[in-house]
Amino acid sequence: MRAERKRKKKKVLLTIVTIIGLLVLSSGGYVYYLWHKAASTVASIQEDLKKSDKRDTDIDLGKKDPISVLIMGVDERKNDKGRADTMIYMTVNPKTNTTEMVSIPRDTYTKISGKGTMDKINHSYAFGGTQMAADTVEDLLDVPVDYFVKVNMESFKDTVDTLGGITVNSTFAFNYDGHSFGTGNISLNGEEALAYTRMRKEDPRGDFGRQQRQRQVIEGIISKGANISSVTKFGDMFKVIENNMKTNMSFDDMWTVMTDYKNARGKVIQHELKGTGTRINNIYYYKLDEASLASVKKELKESLK
């Protein structure tokens, strides 16, 4: 009887060990799948950007050098390169644990690098793609663009729907493109999120208000995306990224920034480029205030030290 009980105990123990082993292996396979898929997705969205002339030496992420990132939201459609209607310049400094950012109004009147003509800054992308847009931002702010992330604004809809919706805090009620938005915390699906980011004329702050709402949606996507747990949703997100995003940041660079620079997200400083609207040849432009521009330039340069 004792021998039989021992054999039964061994069988039960072996079964438990086998189940645990399978769980560990399946978990490992799941992690491997996500890691491999993430790496292959990032590899598929690579786009070159030449090293900035405003950098004397290469940045070293291993030494936690401060970095800059240009985030561009472009309205690309079939047979239309579109314009960069959203431009956010951001610095990340792991030494001071600070992230600083400034939204550049899309109608900003400035010289387009590589063309030598004055125009709206969002036209720089239409004229010469990512490189000309980055060069123009560098010349305007007198700071380097180390990395860029380009997102097709149309993908907001797919991204939000894939995540099952997001929540933002609306500061005022308004209607736009057949959608009604209340005040306070509101839930948005994909179509609503896209409309929420596009309204401008009814906003008391004009383009600045629109930029703030765009940042809210981006933050909502990041917050919701950080809590994805199903393989299916990860797969869907990878598809959305592959179809709607470009960057010059490698997978290794992304991983280093995510792990070694993460504390810099604890303190976010937002700058504002002040100016006034004007018309030249009956076309609306936003002319930056020289004192405001000089102040923002100084702050951004300091943040990269």
d(CA 8, CA 71): 62
Output the CA–CA distances (angstroms, integers) from residue 293 to 34, 122, 273, 275, 290, in the order listed. Answer: 43, 17, 6, 9, 5
Give the pLDDT of residue 144: 98
Q: What is the pLDDT of residue 25?
A: 47
Residue with tokens 């054999």: 7
Bridge partners (DSSP) listed for residue 186: 168
Query: Which residue is listed with tokens 């792990």?
Result: 259
| Superfamily holding 61-303 | LCP protein (3.40.630.190)
pLDDT along the chain (305 residues), means of 10: 54 51 50 74 92 92 96 77 86 95 93 95 95 98 96 82 90 92 94 89 83 83 68 74 90 90 88 94 96 98 95
Tally of CB atoms within 10 A around 58 = 8
For the CA atoms of the chain, what is the radius of gyration?
24
The residues spanned by each domain of the chain are 61-303
Q: Partners of 67 in the beta sheet?
A: 92
- Residue 193 burial class via C-beta count within 10 angstroms: exposed 0-12, middle 13-18, buried 19 and up: buried
Polymer length of the chain: 305
The string over 27-47, giving b where at least 16 C-beta atoms fall within 10 Å of a residue's C-beta and e elsewhere, is eeeeeeeeeeebeebbeebee
